[in-house]
Structure 1
Amino acid sequence: MAARIYQRPKSAMQSGRARTDDWILEFEASEAKKPDPLMGWAGSGDTRAQVQLQFATCEAATAYAEKYAIAAHVLPTPPRRLKIQAYADNFR
């Protein structure tokens, strides 16, 4: 049972940083998805892939994984790059 611990990235459709401070523990899929012959939807029998746990800190998520013997690896948060630009720069 493997899992990933990461910090949720900011959506391209949002200007603020709401809900980007939480750390997510997400289980990796243990089996490949296959199409349903009747409906054509992709699915699998792996119910752990549907679970996402939220934690306030990375340490809390790591402690949870260690407590329940989950092999988890932490994905580092990419640095935030700000593009400081004035309105007048549009007319240069």
Structure 2
Amino acid sequence: MAAHIYQTPKNAMQSGKARTSTWVLEFDPAEPKRPDPLTGWAGSGDTRQQLRLTFPSLDAAKAYAEREAIAYHVTMPAPKALKLQAYADNFR
């Protein structure tokens, strides 16, 4: 049982940074998905895939994973580089 910890990315439909300070812990799939013979939908018996835990900080997410003896890997967010330019630069 392993988990993936990452920071919530910015929504593509928003310009601000609301709700991007939370950290998410999601479990990696324990078994592959298989098609249901009746409906054809993909599913599995692994109920931990449906679980998505949010934490206010990376340290809180790590502490939870260590307390519950869950192996985890952290994906750090990419550094955000601002491209500052003036409107006059469009006419150079």
For the residue of structure 2 that corresponds to 1:20, the secondary structure is: coil
1:16-27 correspondence to structure 2 within 5 Å: 16-27=16-27
How far does residue 87 in structure 1 lie from its aligned partner after superposition?
Answer: 5.0
CA RMSD of aligned residues (A): 1.6
**Match of 1:11, as an amino acid?**
N
CA distance in 2, matches of 1:43, 1:4: 20
CA distance in 1, matches of 2:89, 2:41: 48
| 1:41-67 deviations in Å (ceiling 9; x for gaps) | 111110000111111110110000000
TM-score (norm. length: structure 1): 0.87
Other-structure match for 1:66:
66
CA distance in 2, matches of 1:32, 1:86: 51
Unmatched 5+ residue regions in structure 1?
A: none
1:1-92 correspondence to structure 2 within 5 Å: 1-86=1-86
CA distance in 2, matches of 1:88, 1:13: 28
Q: What is the number of residues matched between the two proteins?
A: 92
Structure-2 change in CA distance of 1:42 and 1:91 (3 Å) = farther
Moved >3 Å (runs of 4+): 83-92
Moved more, 35-44 or 50-59: 35-44
Unmatched 5+ residue regions in structure 2?
A: none
TM-score (norm. length: structure 2): 0.87
How far does residue 40 in structure 1 lie from its aligned partner after superposition?
Answer: 1.4
